């Protein structure tokens, strides 16, 4: 809502009266004089009541289609890690897929040593081809959780189907909704209903508004928090895997003030460009990055070409001023 003031109104007095009604007020100095914007997370107050306040000329409705997402403005804390636009970056790292217990143990130890906060790794893998490796499922969830606990890491892993949401939520601090599932509304609802945090990847051809509305779905259905993840959208040029939309990252971070994580691995699809894109993402205001790494990328069961070698991963982690647990 926007509250328009009379030309001779005592703006600070009106502001105080609005605050006394339980409203969060932001002052906008525009060409039409002072206007007061009521933040969407304020208490519900009927506009008529505001019109009775001395100095108020009019009340205009401007309701956001995603008030719960807007309410996350500033920063969110998940598993004691703070995701803040432009803040010390949170590093999420791990293999594309959890391939074996020993593999995830080794990678967890390595990424923890490099300063990562979250361990990633797919137990349920969405693959374009039905003949590709689809993950070790429930067993991999257990390996992932144990490896993360041993190293003091939090866990994020993808949930592919609504029926699996409670099981994945038992093992993960944050449920990943993949690009291909961003508008799978039954999945958004089921993930929300677990009460866990969600990392929502942007659909390959989703607009920012569609992405924010998908995040709103998760929050409406009970998600603890939602972190957005830009992972590249489908462009016309196939030279790189996808088109990393850093304009959207800057918009969400600087204007909406929302926490966005960037996944350069799936965006560019080749390991030699991940370091520059990581730094570009942080410069654009990203709250963190998600990086795929494998101890033997040539043998990876999925996404080997974009997996950072241990040496490259360590060097990149060292070059970031990482945030730690609170
Ligand atoms: C992933 O992060 O494992 C993944 C499959 O990513 P995306 O949904 O972005 O393709
Ligand atoms: Mn992958």
**pTM assigned to the model:** 0.84
Quick: pLDDT tens for 210-230: 999 999 999 999 999 999 999
pLDDT of residue 39: 81
pLDDT beneath 70, residues of the chain: 30-32, 40-41
Which residue has a Cα nearest atom 9 of ligand 1? 179
Residues present in the chain in total: 326
Question: What is the DSSP secondary structure assignment for residue 325, as one 8-state letter?
Answer: B
Sequence-separated (6 or more) residues with CB below 8 Å from residue 30? none
Helices (H) and strands (E) in the chain, counts: 12, 14
For position 64, what pLDDT does the model report?
A: 82
Q: How far is the CA of 99 from the centre of ligand 1 (A)?
A: 16
Closest ligand by atom to 181 CA: 1
Residues 172, 155 contacting (CB under 8 angstroms): yes
What are 61's two structure tokens?
Answer: 């409705």
| Non-local CB neighbours of 199 within 8 Å, separated by 6+ positions | 156, 174, 175, 176, 177, 226, 227, 228, 229, 261
Q: What pLDDT is attached to residue 32?
A: 64
Which residue is closest in CA terms to ligand 1's atom 10? 179
Whether 176 and 227 have beta carbons less than 8 Å apart is answered as no
Specify the pLDDT at position 89. 98
pLDDT of amino acid 265: 98
Confirm or reject: Cβ of 288 under 6 Å from ligand 1.
Answer: no
SS3 state of residue 5? strand
Q: DSSP of 144-162, one letter per residue?
A: HHHHHHHHT-EEEEE--SG
Other CB atoms within a 10 A radius of the CB of residue 75 amount to: 16
Element (H, E) at 139: helix 138-151
Residue 308 CA to residue 291 CA, distance in Å, equals 8
10 Cα: distance to centroid of ligand 1 (angstroms):
53
Query: What pLDDT is attached to residue 30?
Result: 66
Q: For residue 227, which of 77, 114, 33 has the smallest C-alpha distance?
A: 77
What is the reported pLDDT for 264? 98
Strands (DSSP E) contained in the chain are 2-5, 25-30, 33-38, 56-60, 76-78, 81-83, 90-94, 118-120, 154-158, 174-177, 197-201, 226-230, 260-262, 288-292
**Integer Cα distance of 68 and 202 in angstroms:** 18
Q: DSSP secondary-structure letter at 132?
A: S
Task: Specify whether the CB–CB gap between 244 and 262 falls below 8 A.
Answer: yes
Ligand nearest to the CA of 304: 2
Query: 228 alpha carbon to ligand 1 midpoint, in Å?
Result: 13
């Amino acid at each position: 809502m926007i509250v328009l003031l009379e030309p001779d109104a005592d703006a600070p007095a009106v502001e105080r009266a609005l605050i006394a009604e339980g409203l969060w007020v932001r002052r906008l100095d525009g060409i039409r004089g002072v206007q007061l914007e009521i933040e969407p997370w304020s208490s519900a107050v009927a506009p008529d009541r505001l019109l009775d306040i001395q100095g108020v000329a009019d009340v205009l409705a401007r309701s956001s289609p995603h008030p719960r997402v807007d309410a996350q403005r500033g920063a969110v804390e998940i598993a004691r890690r703070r995701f803040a636009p432009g803040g010390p970056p949170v590093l999420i790292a791990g293999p594309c897929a959890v391939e074996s217990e020993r593999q995830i143990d080794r990678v967890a130890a390595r990424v923890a040593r490099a300063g990562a906060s979250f361990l990633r790794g797919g137990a349920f893998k969405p693959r374009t081809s039905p003949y590709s490796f689809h993950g070790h499922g429930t067993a991999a969830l257990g390996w992932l959780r144990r490896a993360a606990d041993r190293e003091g890491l939090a866990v994020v892993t993808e949930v592919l189907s609504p029926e699996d949401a409670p099981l994945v939520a038992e093992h993960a601090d944050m449920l990943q909704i993949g690009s291909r599932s961003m508008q799978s509304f039954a999945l958004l609802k089921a993930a929300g209903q677990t009460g866990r945090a969600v990392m929502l990847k942007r659909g390959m051809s989703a607009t920012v508004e569609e992405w924010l509305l998908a995040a709103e779905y998760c929050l409406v259905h009970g998600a603890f928090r939602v972190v957005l993840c830009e992972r590249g959208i489908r462009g016309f040029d196939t030279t790189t895997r996808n088109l990393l939309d850093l304009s959207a990252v800057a918009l969400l971070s600087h204007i909406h003030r929302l926490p966005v994580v960037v996944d350069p691995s799936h965006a560019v699809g080749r390991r030699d460009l991940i370091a520059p894109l990581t730094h570009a993402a942080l410069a654009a205001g990203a709250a963190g990055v998600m990086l795929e790494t494998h101890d033997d990328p040539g043998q990876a069961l999925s996404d080997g070409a974009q997996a950072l070698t241990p040496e490259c991963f360590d060097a990149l982690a060292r070059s970031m001023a990482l945030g730690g647990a609170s």
